[in-house]
Amino acid sequence: MRLGEKYKDSIGFVFKNKCHPVTQAYADAIGAVPYRITGVLDALWKGLTLPVFQYYFVESVMSMIVPITKRLLGNNVTIIFRGNDGLFGEKTTAYLDTKNVFKKQFLLFLIKHMNGINVESDAQKEEVRQWTDAVVEVSESFVENKKTLEKIKPNLNTKTFLFIGEYRPPYDHKNIELLIKIFKKLPEYKLIIIGKNTKQLQGKAKKNANIEILDFISNKDDFYKKATYYIHLPKYEAGPITLLEAIIAGLIPITNKNAGHHTLIEKVKKDLVLNPNLSEEETRKCIQAIEKLPLKIKQKISETFKRQTITLYGKRKMIENFQNAWKKIISTE
């Protein structure tokens, strides 16, 4: 493409490798044309050769290179970034908390070029505002298999805790290693961990019969049925869909203020949202106190969460919310 070429009357959607299915659905909802990049050089090449769009919807840090290249070539483009855990995660050293000065400056350069940012939760919105004056709108993620999950009836009379999520060393932003440390000293409780790369953690729990670590499993219905609690104590996670899925399945959620959906849980029962600065021993005591709740209270908590989450996080409603957020962002440009 040459400098000054006329814009296409559409939106470009740029993502790295495989985009998140929720982001893909949102991009489809605004009629964005998808472009996949595989790395830095590919992003630069596509920035030089792809058609110019007036608006760019961007998922992933590296994908920002494409529309910024268009802008540096003299094109007047608007760049909307789908906020993610890594870039705006206060508790992770993966991105903005890096000790690498050059990396930090490069990331700040990318942020400077964002005209608008679409984030996954109110908690993440507050974090993003510390880094930019760009317009920030919230579009929470939806639960894809909601109808299947809402039919599940968990056993609320067990001492079984479930966690589902990918292990990403060395940052481990989902804090899976912490869960293992906590439950090592709670032998009367069972912890089931399911997720990609979690086999790497099996050595840390090989002597603990109460901790079961499994690789990624597509159908988790049987695990929802045998567990009572879903525990997720991340270092930072903007909008954990697995937490919403577990709530719709009827499990009792235990999380902390670093999880984007903690405000939803606090509205029902504040004791289920822990302070992330608690020691391991203090966290164990909180877990033990929650487990000792009477069965009738657990049933009421489960039913309340299930009903509210089913109402709030349907796909159609979330897509409409995103479309409205998109209109607000671009109307300010």
Which of 4-13, 101-110, 228-237 is most confident?
228-237
Which residue, chain included where needed, has tokens 């508790």?
91
Question: What global pTM score does this model have?
Answer: 0.86
Q: How many contiguous H segments (helices) and E segments (strands) does the chain have?
A: 14, 12
Residue 94: per-residue pLDDT: 56
Residue 41: per-residue pLDDT: 97
d(CA 36, CA 19): 8
Beta strands in 215-277 (DSSP E): 229-232, 252-256, 273-274
Residue 206: per-residue pLDDT: 84
Is the confidence at residue 37, as pLDDT, over 60?
A: yes
Question: Between 98 and 34, whose confidence is greater?
Answer: 34
**CATH numbers and ranges of domains, the chain:** 8-142+315-331 (3.40.50.2000), 146-312 (3.40.50.2000)
Share of the chain above pLDDT 90, in %: 69
- Dihedrals phi, psi of 247, to nearest 5 degrees: -65, -45
Q: How confident is the model at residue 123 (pLDDT cuts 50, 70, 90)?
A: confident
Mean pLDDT value across residues 150-177:
93
Mean pLDDT value across residues 36-55:
96
What is the DSSP-derived secondary structure letter of residue 137?
Answer: E
Residue 161: per-residue pLDDT: 98
Mean pLDDT value across residues 105-115:
93
